[in-house]
Structure 1
Amino acid sequence: MQFLTTDETSMPSTPDTHLLRNTNFRWLLGGGLVSMLGDQFSMLALPWLVLSLTGDSLSLGIAVALMGAPRAVLILLGGTIADRYSARRVMLLSKYAQAAILFLLAALLWLDQASLALAYAAALALGIASAFAIPAGTAILPQAVPASSLQKANGLQMGARQLSLLAGPLLAALVLGAHDGARQTAMTALAAAFAIDALTFVFSAWTLRQVALRPLAAAAAQGMWREMAAGLAMVWRDVPLRSCYAYWALVAFFVMGPLQVALPVLASERLQGAAALGLLMGAHGAGTLAGMLCSGLGGAWLRRHFGATLLAVDAAVAVLLMALGQISAAWQGAALLALTGLLGGYLQVAIFTWIQRRVTPAMLGRAMALFMGIFLGLAPLSAAATGALLRHASVGELFCGGGALLLAAAVAAALLTGIPRIGEADCVIQP
Structure 2
Amino acid sequence: MPATTDTHLLRNTNFRWLLGGGLVSMLGDQFTMLALPWLVLGLTGDSLSLGIAVALMGAPRALLILLGGTIADRYSPRRVLLLSKYVNAAILLALAAMLWLDQASLALAYGAALALGIASAFAIPAGTAILPQAVPPQMLQAANGLQMGARQLSLLAGPLLAALVLGARDGAQQTAMAALAAAFAIDALTFLCSAWTLRQVRLQPLATPAAPQAMWRDMAAGLAVVWRDLPLRSCYAYWALVAFFVMGPLQVALPVLASERLHGAAALGLLMGAHGAGTLAGMLASGLGGTWLRRHFGATLLAADAVVACLLMALGQIDSARQGAALLAATGMLSGYLQVAIFTWIQRRVAPAMLGRAMALFMAIFLGLAPLSAAATGALLRHLSVGELFCCGGALLLAAAVAAALLTDIPRIAGSTSAASP
Q: Same fold (TM over 0.5)?
A: yes
d(CA) in 1 for partners of 2:66, 2:78: 17
Report the counterpart of residue 253 of structure 2 in structure 1. 262
Q: 1:17, CA displacement in angstroms?
A: 4.7
1:33 is aligned to 2:23: yes
Report the counterpart of residue 205 of structure 1 in structure 2. 195
Report the counterpart of residue 50 of structure 2 in structure 1. 60
Give the counterpart of 1:227 among 213, 218, 221: 218
d(CA) in 1 for partners of 2:273, 2:415: 34
1:50 is aligned to 2:40: yes
Give the counterpart of 1:281 among 272, 285, 290: 272
1:372 is aligned to 2:363: yes
1:315 is aligned to 2:306: yes
Q: Deviations over 1:147-183 (max 9, x none)?
A: 0111100000000000000000000000000001111
Report the counterpart of residue 175 of structure 1 in structure 2. 165
Whether contact under 8 Å (2:312, 2:390) holds in the other structure is yes
Whether contact under 8 Å (2:297, 2:413) holds in the other structure is yes
Query: What residue identity is the alignment partner of 1:177?
Result: G
Give the counterpart of 2:241 among 245, 250, 255: 250
Give the counterpart of 1:161 among 136, 144, 151: 151
Report the counterpart of residue 409 of structure 2 in structure 1. 418
Query: What residue identity is the alignment partner of 1:342?
Result: M
Report the counterpart of residue 149 of structure 1 in structure 2. 139
Q: Deviations over 1:14-52 (max 9, x none)?
A: 966510111100000000000000000000000000000
Q: Deviations over 1:219-278 (max 9, x none)?
A: 111100000011111110100000000000000000000000000000000002101000
d(CA) in 2 for partners of 1:173, 1:164: 13
d(CA) in 1 for partners of 2:336, 2:247: 14
1:299 is aligned to 2:276: no
d(CA) in 1 for partners of 2:416, 2:89: 42
Question: 5+ unaligned residues in a row in structure 2: which ranges?
Answer: none
d(CA) in 2 for partners of 1:30, 1:425: 28
d(CA) in 1 for partners of 2:129, 2:61: 17
The alignment-based identity, stated in percent, is 87
Whether contact under 8 Å (2:301, 2:338) holds in the other structure is yes
Give the counterpart of 2:186 among 163, 180, 196: 196
Query: What residue identity is the alignment partner of 1:326?
Result: Q
Report the counterpart of residue 127 of structure 2 in structure 1. 137
Whether contact under 8 Å (2:166, 2:179) holds in the other structure is yes
1:122 is aligned to 2:115: no
d(CA) in 2 for partners of 1:289, 1:86: 30
d(CA) in 1 for partners of 2:164, 2:42: 18
Q: 1:142, CA displacement in angstroms?
A: 0.1
Whether contact under 8 Å (2:5, 2:142) holds in the other structure is no
Q: Secondary structure at the match of 1:297?
A: coil
d(CA) in 2 for partners of 1:44, 1:220: 43
1:332 is aligned to 2:323: yes
Q: 1:146, CA displacement in angstroms?
A: 0.5
Q: Deviations over 1:189-227 (max 9, x none)?
A: 000000000000000000000011100121111100000
TM-score, structure 1 normalization: 0.95
Whether contact under 8 Å (2:84, 2:120) holds in the other structure is yes
d(CA) in 1 for partners of 2:238, 2:35: 36
The number of equivalent residue pairs is 417
Query: What residue identity is the alignment partner of 2:231?
Result: P
Q: Secondary structure at the match of 2:301?
A: helix
- Structure 1 residues 190, 394: closer, same or farther in 2, change over 3 A? same
Report the counterpart of residue 341 of structure 2 in structure 1. 350
Query: What residue identity is the alignment partner of 1:170?
Result: L
Q: Secondary structure at the match of 2:213?
A: coil
d(CA) in 1 for partners of 2:161, 2:211: 47
1:22 is aligned to 2:7: no
Q: 1:187, CA displacement in angstroms?
A: 0.5
Whether contact under 8 Å (1:16, 1:148) holds in the other structure is no
Query: What residue identity is the alignment partner of 2:132?
Result: P
1:74 is aligned to 2:64: yes
d(CA) in 1 for partners of 2:118, 2:99: 22
Q: Secondary structure at the match of 2:304?
A: helix
Q: Deviations over 1:92-131 (max 9, x none)?
A: 1100000000000000000000000000000000000000
Query: What residue identity is the alignment partner of 1:174?
Result: L
d(CA) in 2 for partners of 1:83, 1:429: 15
d(CA) in 2 for partners of 1:123, 1:358: 35
Deviation >2 Å, runs of 4+: 14-17, 424-430
- Structure 1 residues 123, 405: closer, same or farther in 2, change over 3 A? same
Whether contact under 8 Å (1:76, 1:228) holds in the other structure is yes
Report the counterpart of residue 6 of structure 1 in structure 2. none
d(CA) in 1 for partners of 2:210, 2:58: 32
d(CA) in 1 for partners of 2:405, 2:27: 39
Question: 5+ unaligned residues in a row in structure 1: which ranges?
Answer: 1-13
d(CA) in 2 for partners of 1:15, 1:373: 32
Q: Secondary structure at the match of 1:45?
A: helix
Whether contact under 8 Å (1:354, 1:427) holds in the other structure is no
Q: 1:424, CA displacement in angstroms?
A: 3.2
d(CA) in 1 for partners of 2:295, 2:420: 14
d(CA) in 2 for partners of 1:425, 1:37: 32
Query: What residue identity is the alignment partner of 2:262?
Result: L
Q: Secondary structure at the match of 1:305?
A: helix
